[in-house]
Structure 1
Amino acid sequence: MLKKMLSVLMAASMLLSVFAVSFTSASAAESPQITGVTGYAESEDPTRVMGDAVDGNTETFWHTKFNSNEVNFETDTKNSYYLDLGAEYFVDKFEYVPKQRADKNGKITDFELYGTLDTDRESAEWSLITTVNGWTYGTSGEGTESHSVEIADPKPWRMIKITVKGSTKNDGDPNSFICAAEFRVFGTEEPSEVSVWEYEEVGTDSARITKYNGTDVNVVIPETIDGRTVSSIGAMSTSTSVFKEAYDKGVMIESVEMPDTVVLINQHAFRGIASLKTVNLSQNLTEIRTSAFLDCSSLEKIDIPATVTDIGNNAFIGCEALKTVIIRGKNTYINNEGASAYTAAFGFMEISQKTKIEGITMVGVEKSFAQRYTTTYPHIAFMTIEDYETRPELMWEYTINESNKEARVTKYLGNDVNVVVPDKLEGYDVVAIEEYTFKDAYDKGVKVESVVIPDTVIFIRDNAFRGLDSLKSVTVGNSVKTINRYAFRDCTGLEIIDLPASCSTLSDGCFIGCANLKTIIIRSENPFIDNAGASSWLAAIGFMDITQNEKIEGITMVGVPGTNTEKYTQKYPHINFMSIEDYERGGILGDVNGDDELTVDDATLIQMYIVGMPVENFNVELADVNEDGQISIYDATLVQIKIVNK
């Protein structure tokens, strides 16, 4: 029904040169009753069958079985009844007509209404549409008046289920009964947007949304309503939010998606919607007016396009969770970047600016109004758009544990093949690289070649790098304690890895299948290496597969003598051991021929060198075995002693 707001409209037309009238859900024709409905009852008396409740005749009625106690609301026994609509309809109203007799028996007081798109009621998946409690009939239950429930956000259903939870009873009757003269369902085969939105006409072809009547917490504003383009949100002169009534009824709106047809957000349009977390703005928006998002306390981020020329005073005041404000326009004016009291747009809990909101970052263009705003209010940090869009948070998926104040990377999203894992995300230390962190990128063609792990990381989890055959080098941070199962399995391009002293656990299979990994440096003085003690299937290093059927030859494990690193090479003698000291010196003292082991050949070569005989490939630095600054017969003798004691 058109609202005749002529005096207001005349004034508005003078000021705005538009003709605006208001439509509400009542302005559209009421949806028709769906005809051809058939019914099925879990309980019915042979003389009062379910068909009597859908025959269009209020003189007949359906009744559960007379003189029976088979209906039980507490155990949900024979208390569900089904309506097949014959096709899919957007159901927006359900009406119940009790039997037209002045008695108390079997009139529905409480029920749940369900819908499904399936046609088989027994196998159908049912969705709750609404719950109704407390219908009454006259003063004592003998009335015959009809009741109905309107459904604010219609969805398509093929079948409707009525599960009755309570009904009236005759005095003294121990049994429960249910009856109906008519079950009526109303709806259309196409959705009606007018039932969800109220709006005002603007000019000949635009609409200004003024009220949301829906129940969806993730709201998508339509581009058009009744053929009109939605150009603005919020009434021209009101302090009431478009979403207030729905919010007050318990619709905890979490997100709003705005079409690019919207050019204006009017004052107070979203005010006080404390549940609102995200808003995707129109890319053609030009103005956000006074108090538009005032007290949207859960809003975490807002990205304002460059098309916006003006952000009104108090627009985002009271948004205590709003820590990221992106303003893409260099000339977007922000109240009050040059600031008198009561007019700031961001950064305070109340319009009087008594309480600052700390931890806000305003992202924008250098030398813009946005940057000047942060100069006026220095508790707000400034970051350029370029820096913001290349920050680590965009390159990774991750989880945050606020109680432990830590982050864990779960997926690499970048395209760089030389990867630096960030030490912090959202200000929290990155402590773990989780399972299959690099798999998705690798499968998409990002052949990661090198990875630098920061000193904050403690755990490299199962399968974290598994299958990255392009990976050639990994720099492991000085805090890593654990490399979990299969963490680097089948990284066939990896040739060397240097593990810090903090790394005390190498789990089973962590380097299995690394065919070219020939040098593994383990600096821990007390490492646990699966399986230094070893039963089959658990080796960490030195085999192509977990069954240990194929050895990888030519591996040297570098570590502290006498620790599990050396014991591992004793368990698997195809792996050589070298002390860290020897490795950093460039080889084993006495191994003058460079074959990574002490043999009689080395002693012989030293003796030949001493007497002046020609020798080839002789490492003079390793010949001074006793490190006295001379190469003598004592050095050759020490090599022989080491060979005997080996």
Structure 2
Amino acid sequence: MKKKVLAFLLASTMVIEPFTVASAADFSDGMGHEDVQFNDDAEDVPEIENNVNGVDQFSADAVGEGENSSKPPEDAIQMGNDVWVTFDDSTGTATISGKGDMWDYYENGKDFSNTHQNPFIGKSGIKKIVIEDGVTTIGNYLLKGYDNKDSIEEVRIEGNITKIGNYAFDNCYNLAKINFKEGINEIGRYAFENCEKLEIVVLPNTVKTLGKYCFSECHNLKTLTLSNSLKVIPERAFQRCFNIEEVILPENLEDIGEGAFYLCKGIENITFPASIKSMGEISFADCEKLKNVVFKEGATGNLSFQMFRGCNKLENIVVPKSITSIEEQAFLDCKNLATVVVMGNTTKVRYSNFSNPFEQCSNLRTIKGYSCSYIKRYYDSLSKDQKDQITFEAFEGKLHQWSTEKEVIKEPTCTEEGENVYRCEICGATKKAENRK
């Protein structure tokens, strides 16, 4: 029982005040004297358990409830609930560390609470940004207010970032290197706009969402690998990336936004997957080296307004029957386009007295399609001079689109039967229907 009392008193003393090793020894010696008496009627005092759930309760390593698990350096500046940044002026490095999401910043340079200023404001000479493992997102407007964006040359991501925010690295003209690691799901709008020195972008297959203008104006971008998880390439995502040499569109891609690859002068080949459903206006306009365009079986949607405008290397185009329409000026000013093949008779061709899909295609010589088709109707609308330059080659057979309602050609009389026909909605041909009596 004496040992139990001793344990209780020791524990109580440690809680109440600091207890040195020497005083503990003195106290222990005193307890050892024979004249210390205890009442035999006293209740037993329960022993204090030290080891609870494998943690030494009296150890200096035990962390109190509510304490942060990560301890920032003394000179760190907070930019998330548990995210911090330090600046090493000697190496020009900004290191972002901690756990969880960065705060999003706004155009005024403040966070959502309007109390924390973006720590990059007023800094200069940063060459490298390191984002350590544990940080999970890169906030919107990460560098808003940093006036020397052209000093940044490298961004190194060490952990599993899930999102890169809007405008995070826009106008970092000399940013030449960034690694996109598995785990990134989203890259925000304008995130890397005007990163002119960026040459390689490899997006892992975890990337599902791109924001509009995300890599716009990356003039020296040569190698682009897209995520196979992308279903949408948004508006102007890669416009004016003059040096992209090859683009392989994702197998499940459904939508290409307006101007997505506008003025990508280096692209020579493009294959649209069977999953494609929508292709935006001027999406491949002024791709000067584009010479091969392929649509996989099943591709749908419209060849939109000025979609291939100014693609001067394009000589032949085969439009599959699954394409809904060819819009006005779709191939405007494709000076070397010589042959157009339209595989479906129901693919509509939009034209008027003032405009048509093949406007200013000065070398167009052959159009191929069914004799009953919208492309044939377009050909029939051409002037004599145009027909002298362009010939129409008809496929074998006719595929009429008969009306569902009968058309009365002749009303029946008392002496003669009436005459009913079905009329083709494309070419106007008729076939006899059951006569009315």
TM-score range for the pair, normalised by the shorter chain length: 0.3 to 0.5
TM-score by length of 2: 0.43
Higher helix proportion, which one? 1
Higher strand proportion, which one? 1
